[in-house]
Amino acid sequence: MRLNGKTLAEIIGGVLFLILLVGGGAGAWFWNAFNAGGPLRDETVLVIPKGSGVNAIAELLAKEGVIDNPLVFKLGVKLFAKDQPLHAGEFRFPTAASPRGAMQVLIEGRSVLHRITMAEGWTVREIFDVLAASPLLDGPLPPPPAEGTLLPETYFFVRGDDRGALVERMKTNMSETLARLWEKRDTEIALESPLQAVILASIVEKETGIKDERARVAAVFHNRLRQGMSLQSDPTVIYAVTLGKAPLGRDLTYADLKLDSPYNTYVITGLPPSPIANPGEASLQAVLHPKKTKELYFVADGSGGHAFAETMDGHLKNVAKWRKLQKQNKQAN
């Protein structure tokens, strides 16, 4: 028999417990049991399923060793939680949490935060692949947004958050960050719009991962744009070949450098029509505040960075050094 969703045994048990409670030492026993440290030896994280009632929560907490006595927990919730609901979600219970402490964790509803990091320079496809693979997120992915509209950084979320909502957060963060940085840009830069800033920043992002080089690489591209020179950036050629849908998986060829594409900055002058990746805030800062130089060229220097030059003669010397180093490395291997 059930009354208001409770079995007759539950009702009788509750009544009997209350009768005992008003007796001599029963009240003191309950008070001690409800506030005493529990059996949990180590901090633990539990998921409370949506729709769980107090009975189900009490049984789960007891099963997982957070509390000893489900009845003490249930009565404590009835007496002290009042109109404060117990939340569902993923929660962290501290070592030796009392039944009262466990109840308070669920009343406060501070779900465990997880983090997911989107690397600077990832394409939309790469970001979506990570979101799709996360077992902690819920819901389908939305249609892919335009390249360069997502701000890569570390995002915090709770178990069960919607993938589409996280994508919207990334879009909002990029929009707000770009607006803030564009407002404070150097006025003499050769960029006419925030979109152009994102396009150039995406190229800088793919060219160097060294913090101190970004503004210098950006300066080279600004100088070339002012002089009407093609940017000749290898990452734009890679994007021209793959359109950001998959890694290239091989070295660029001379045929690639001649590919007829609006993204191939070896065959076009100026910027590509859209970003080739999602740049981070540091690269956006770099293109909006480039280093003041006359440099027009750079090439890898073998240490993870680049050698810069103002003239073609200087550049060719740097290229020769790089090729010599490559040859030595091949012979050593």
Give the CATH number, domain containing residue 94: 3.30.1490.480
For residue 301, the tally of other CB atoms under 10 A from its CB is 14
Tell me if 145 is assigned to some domain.
Answer: yes
Do 131 and 8 lie in one domain? The reply is no
Tell me if 8 is assigned to some domain.
Answer: yes
Structure tokens that stand for 33 in this block? 């049991």
Do 217 and 233 lie in one domain? The reply is yes
Please report which helix (H) or strand (E) contains residue 197, including its range: helix 194-207
Q: How many domains does the chain have?
A: 3
Tell me if 218 is assigned to some domain.
Answer: yes
Tell me if 262 is assigned to some domain.
Answer: yes
Tell me if 182 is assigned to some domain.
Answer: no
Which one of 88, 108, 128 terminates a domain? 108
Do 318 and 229 lie in one domain? The reply is yes
Structure tokens that stand for 214 in this block? 């970004």
The SS3 call for residue 161 is: coil
Please report which helix (H) or strand (E) contains residue 107, including its range: helix 99-108
Q: What is the pLDDT of residue 21?
A: 52
- Write the pLDDT tens digit of every residue in 31-85: 899 999 999 999 999 999 999 999 999 999 999 999 999 999 999 999 999 889 9
Q: What is the pLDDT of residue 18?
A: 54
Do 279 and 307 lie in one domain? The reply is yes
Q: What is the pLDDT of residue 28?
A: 83
Which one of 108, 134, 154 terminates a domain? 108
Q: What is the pLDDT of residue 1?
A: 43
Do 68 and 123 lie in one domain? The reply is no
Do 14 and 144 lie in one domain? The reply is no
Taking the CA atoms of residue 52, residue 70, residue 5 and residue 104 in that order, the dihedral angle to the nearest 10 degrees is -50
Which one of 85, 108, 131 terminates a domain? 108
Calculate the alpha carbon distances from 303 to 63, 299, 313, 319, 322 in Å: 56, 11, 22, 14, 10
Q: What is the pLDDT of residue 113?
A: 95
Rounded CA-CA distance 107/179 in Å is 39
Tell me if 39 is assigned to some domain.
Answer: yes
For residue 186, the tally of other CB atoms under 10 A from its CB is 12
Tell me if 204 is assigned to some domain.
Answer: yes
Do 122 and 96 lie in one domain? The reply is no
The SS3 call for residue 52 is: coil
Residue reference for tokens 């909002």: 172
Q: What is the pLDDT of residue 71?
A: 94
The per-residue DSSP string of 55-91 comes to: HHHHHHHHHTTS-S-HHHHHHHIIIIITTPPPPPEEE
Do 168 and 191 lie in one domain? The reply is no
Domain carrying residue 63: 2-18+29-108
Sign of the torsion angle spanned by Cα atoms 154, 156, 162, 165: negative
Do 155 and 222 lie in one domain? The reply is no
Structure tokens that stand for 327 in this block? 């040859």
Do 7 and 101 lie in one domain? The reply is yes
Closest CA to 243 of 222, 263, 214, 220: 263
Do 137 and 214 lie in one domain? The reply is no
Tell me if 71 is assigned to some domain.
Answer: yes
Residues of the chain with pLDDT under 70: 1-24, 333
Q: What is the pLDDT of residue 326?
A: 80
Do 288 and 201 lie in one domain? The reply is yes
